[in-house]
């Protein structure tokens, strides 16, 4: 049975999953646009959340804040990003999470992208990765580390040089791929040829047209993504699926039904 669910509020991710008829929940452990945290808001704390999720059969995924940029040449961002990602990984391990998702980041337009790839390898070298760290492809940025296939290839080549490489996986977001100029049909196979693994799929439609560079999600079947392409990614990846789509319980239930019927 496919593990699938939605991005939800962290206060009770087990109840959120059950309300959606889902088997997993993804959430932030704090402000996605800030540097504070992580904080486990679940009553009883991390130990209670881990025990209750295991008893309920609900898998947990933690999404790191958007502000983190492990690739950047700016030390005032890169160093705190490493420190904060370590805190996220440690907290995720305490709640028994199946993985931590983090965006691939970027360097400035004038920078050599190789510096960004090297910064990622150095970060992986220094992290204590007790749960899988899943790098997610991104929608925009001309000097992004994980937008285009050639860049993902170079990123994976750099990470392969780290002794922690086996703890790093990939999260494939369909909206980001569409907005980033990657055709969805056959994409999972192309990613697998580079990374050897897809650990999680973010199944999102897009409010914008192909190669827009805009990260704006839509409910499945209601945007500009090729629906057959989304279905192909899900089927080929054969990984757990998260919807990060607008709306609450009813909208997410409809999106999860769309996946089951695709």
What CA dihedral angle connects 109, 110, 113 and 118, to 10 degrees? -120
In angstroms, the CA 60 to CA 51 distance is 12
Instruction: Quote the pLDDT of residue 6.
Output: 98
Beta-strand pair 4-7/241-243: parallel
Please indicate, yes or no, if residue 252 is contained in any of the structural domains.
Answer: no
Rounded CA-CA distance 165/143 in Å is: 23
* Res 39 pLDDT > 90: yes
Across 150-155, average pLDDT = 98
Residue 37: is its pLDDT beyond 90?
Answer: no
| 55 within domain boundaries | yes
DSSP SS3 for 151: helix
pLDDT at 199 over 90: yes
Q: Using one digit for the tens of pLDDT, what is the confidence trace for 85-106? A: 999 999 999 999 999 999 999 9
- At 17 the pLDDT is 98
Q: Taking the CA of residue 107 as centre, how many other CA atoms within 13 Å lie in the half-sphere pointing to its CB?
A: 17
CB 51 within 8 A of CB 95: no
Residue pLDDT, tens place only, 176-197? 999 999 999 999 999 999 999 9
Confidence at residue 262, expressed as pLDDT on a 0 to 100 scale? 82
Q: Is the CB of residue 149 less than 8 Å from the CB of residue 194? A: yes
Whether 164 is in a domain gets the answer yes
Range of 222's domain? Answer: 32-245
Beta-carbon contacts of 93 under 8 Å, excluding residues fewer than 6 positions away, are: 130, 131
Judge whether residue 173 has pLDDT over 80.
Answer: yes
Mean pLDDT to the nearest integer, 124-143: 97
Tell me, yes or no, whether 80 lies in a domain: yes
- Do 5 and 13 touch, CB atoms closer than 8 A? no
Residue 26 resides in a domain = no
Residues 163 and 165: their CA atoms lie apart, in Å, by: 6
Rg (CA), the chain: 17
> How far is Cα 237 from Cα 103, in angstroms, rounded to an integer?
19
Output the pLDDT for position 131.
98
pLDDT at 83 over 80: yes
For residue 124, tell me if it sits in a domain.
yes
> Is the predicted pLDDT of residue 66 greater than 80, yes or no?
yes
Mean pLDDT value of segment 217-240: 98
Kindly state whether residue 175 falls inside one of the protein's structural domains. yes
CA-to-CA separations, 137 to 26, 47, 92, 170, 180, in angstroms, rounded? 17, 31, 21, 8, 9
Does residue 74 sit within a domain? yes
CB 145 within 8 A of CB 120: yes
Per-residue pLDDT at 142: 86
CATH value at residue 46: 3.20.20.150
Residue 236: predicted pLDDT:
98
pLDDT at 1 over 80: no
Report the pLDDT averaged over residues 44-48.
97
Class of residue 259 by CB neighbours under 10 A (exposed 0-12, middle 13-18, buried 19+): middle
pLDDT reported for residue 256: 98
Total domain count, the chain: 1
Q: What pLDDT sits at residue 178? A: 98
């Amino acid at each position: 049975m496919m593990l699938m669910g939605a991005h939800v509020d962290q206060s009770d991710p087990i109840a959120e999953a059950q309300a959606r008829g889902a088997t997993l929940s993804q959430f932030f452990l704090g402000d996605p646009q800030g540097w504070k945290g992580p904080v486990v808001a679940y009553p009883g704390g991390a130990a209670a959340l881990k025990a209750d999720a295991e008893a309920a059969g609900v898998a947990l995924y933690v999404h790191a804040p958007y502000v983190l940029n492990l690739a950047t040449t700016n030390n005032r961002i890169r160093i705190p990003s490493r420190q904060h990602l370590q805190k996220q990984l440690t907290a995720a391990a305490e709640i028994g999470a199946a993985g931590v998702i983090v965006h691939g980041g970027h360097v400035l337009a004038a920078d050599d992208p190789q510096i960004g790839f090297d910064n990622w390898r150095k970060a992986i070298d220094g992290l204590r990765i007790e749960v899988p760290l899943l790098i997610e492809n991104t929608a925009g940025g001309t000097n992004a580390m994980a937008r285009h296939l050639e860049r993902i290839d170079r990123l994976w080549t750099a990470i392969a040089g780290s002794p922690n490489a086996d703890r790093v996986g990939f999260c494939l977001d369909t909206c980001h791929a569409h907005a980033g100029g990657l055709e969805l049909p056959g994409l999972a196979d192309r990613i697998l040829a580079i990374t050897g693994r897809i650990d999680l799929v973010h199944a999102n439609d897009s409010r914008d047209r192909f190669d827009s560079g805009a990260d704006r999600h839509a409910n499945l079947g209601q945007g500009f993504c090729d629906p057959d392409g989304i279905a192909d990614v899900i089927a080929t990846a054969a990984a757990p699926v998260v919807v990060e789509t607008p709306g609450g319980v009813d909208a997410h239930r409809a999106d999860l039904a769309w996946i089951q019927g695709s």
